Homo-oligomer: A and B are copies of this chain.
Amino acid sequence: MVDLASRRPVMSNAGLMPTLAVSAVDEHGESRESVIAGERPLTLYLDKREIVTLMTLGTHPELLTLGYLLNQRLVPSIEAVARIEVDWDVDAVAVTTSATIDDLDERLARRTVTTGCGQGTAFGRLTDLLERTRVPATTIAQSRLYALLDALQDRNEVYRRAGAVHGCAVCDFDLDGTPRVECFVEDVGRHNAADAIAGHMWLNGIAGRDKAFYTTGRLTSEMVVKVAQMGIPVLVSRSGITQMGLELARLVGVVMIARAKGRHFLVYNGAERVHFDAPPARQPG
């Protein structure tokens, strides 16, 4: 980890509480309190120019902003970001760059992943981008994977209370002892959660090469792209995968493990880099 404290942007600390209690009527016709996930619009202004409105849980708005700018390649480097100031009174975040970005028009035109859920992706440019992206050929032991899943067990807090969110985490998995969850973020869209994690890694100068990325959500093309952009070689999901997610995982060389629940998992790409050192006992019958 590199000390980047001296060139960190000045940031607000405007994280919201992720849940709120509302009243709902149950199947007996009785009113009861129910906890739901927050969702707020956050309009991003880059040097006073409106870029996008993100719908977010709002727990990590500064990291989300930073990660979005990074993943969309709208700023050239973290040194270019001077201030990130969130103001929920107007549902906006103002980003000030240290030197005005001359080629912002060009950068905006080149935006590759403008969306989540597969609406709006300029996919041609997306594969072009990944053409030059390869992640390191890391290996992971099954025993470390299980330890990592155990460590994540209790983290999905908003989901357990309110549903309607996806959790994403980046973890160290090759240390002795318990794998360390470097950063865990939940958001109403898994793309926002992934962007906030990218922001955290960028801000703290954390490299992706010895990390695993975990998500509760599905591994579609766009999730694999984001993980590849962070240079993370191991991708683990509680859910399933899609065809294009698999094709992109093969292209960039990400170990792709899905349906990871309890002791079960399926390796869809890179099984030769998984060390099966802890196979569970077989169920009788």
A residues neighboring B (CB under 8 Å): 20, 22, 24-29, 31-32, 34, 36-41, 43, 52-56, 68, 91, 114-124, 142, 162-164, 188-192, 218-222, 239-246, 259, 263-268, 271, 274, 276, 279-280, 282
Contacts and interface: CB of A to CB of B under 8 A. Distances in A.
Nearest to A146: B27
Contacts of A220: 39, 55, 164, 188-189
Contacts of A53: 120-124
A27 B261 CA distance: 11
A240 B37 contact: yes
Chain A interface helix/strand/loop/mixed: mixed
B52 A221 contact: no
B192 A246 contact: no
A115 B72 CA distance: 15
Point out which of A28, A41, A164, A189 has the most chain B C-beta atoms below 10 A from its C-beta: A164
Nearest to A159: B240
A51 to B, nearest CB: 10
B243 A36 contact: yes
A55 B118 contact: yes
Contact of A25 (B43, B218, B266): B266
A114 B114 contact: yes
Contact of A163 (B120, B163, B244, B259): B259
A246 B116 contact: no
A176 B122 CA distance: 47
Contact of A118 (B27, B36, B54): B54
Given A240-B163, A243-B38, A282-B28, A218 B188 contact: yes
The 6 closest A-B pairs by CB, nearest first: A116-B117, A163-B240, A55-B118, A117-B189, A39-B242, A164-B240
27 contacts: A20-B243, A22-B246, A24-B267, A26-B264, A28-B282, A36-B246, A37-B243, A40-B243, A41-B124, A41-B244, A43-B123, A53-B124, A54-B119, A54-B120, A54-B121, A55-B118, A55-B121, A55-B221, A55-B244, A114-B119, A115-B116, A117-B117, A117-B192, A118-B191, A119-B189, A119-B191, A164-B219
